Amino acid sequence: MSALGLAFISFVCIFGATLLTMQFRGALKQHHLNADSKDAIRLSMGVIATMSALVLGLLIASAKSSFDAKSSQVKQVTAQVVLIDQLLAQYGPEARESRVFMRVGVSALADRIWSEGDKTTAQAGSFATNQGTEIFINSVLNLKPQTDAQQFTKQRAINAVADLAQTRLLLYAQAGNSIPLPFLVLLVFWLTIIFASFSLFVAPNRMVVLAFFVSAFSAAGAIYLILELDRPFTGFMSISEAPLRQALGPL
């Protein structure tokens, strides 16, 4: 499900519980809402609110860390692609074919990375190297240096290809969710009962309902932000693929 859909469900749960409790409040007898009962409820909700704040902070930190890590890895891939192309250019005209293969492979690489990052289209399975990547790697390995400079440049290019492959595998390994679903469900449950407890102590009116609406909307917005950060290759806050696709100009 999309981040917007999950955030909407969270909002419905939180705000709906508030409205439901307002209706239920009228059915309570007065001794259920005496001073002692209010103090006990407030203390209990204070504990839950503290735990909710801790979990919310943990989820935001985890999602932001995951987003930054994947963004950094995409930048590394882009830089490594440019470095390999420059090394092949330094090697000489003999590496032109490898540079052509690389330009074809970069587009396929971007498609694969963003497809794996899209939770709606990604398919579980083992990692497999596509044929274009194998052709490019073999073309680099089959280069026959004629000078010491070409030998040195070829070795640097092979090392750069190995670094690129390692970064690519890290992106593949981290393609799953970084936010544990039980944490998210528990957070929504805690927020729901906290907001429901608020409406026990106040008579319903338009301003109260509006205040609860804004608060519930803000809480759902925080959950939406967490889910968006957890999905860095899709959504409104997605990592741009343009720098990688445009990293190499035409020969």
Give the confidence band of 29 by pLDDT, cuts at 50, 70, 90.
Answer: low
What are phi and psi for residue 96, nearest 5 degrees?
A: -60, -40
**Long-range CB contact pairs, 85-92, < 8 A, 24+:** 85/247, 85/248, 87/153, 87/156, 87/157, 87/160, 88/140, 88/157, 90/153, 91/143, 91/145, 91/150, 91/153, 91/154, 91/157, 92/150
What is the separation of C-alpha 91 from the centre of its chain, rounded to a whole number of angstroms?
A: 39
- pLDDT one-digit tens code per residue, 216-227: 999 999 999 988
Q: Please report the sign of the dihedral spanned by the C-alpha atoms of residue 96, residue 249, residue 158, residue 173.
A: negative
- Confidence (pTM): 0.78
Q: Do the beta carbons of residue 87 and residue 150 sit within 8 Å?
A: no
How confident is the model over 108-158, as pLDDT tens digits? 888 888 887 665 444 545 666 777 788 888 888 888 988 899 999 999 999
pLDDT at 121: 46
Q: Give yes or no for residue 53 having a pLDDT over 70.
A: yes
Higher pLDDT: 119 or 58? It is: 58
Give the residue extent of every domain in the chain.
3-120+127-245
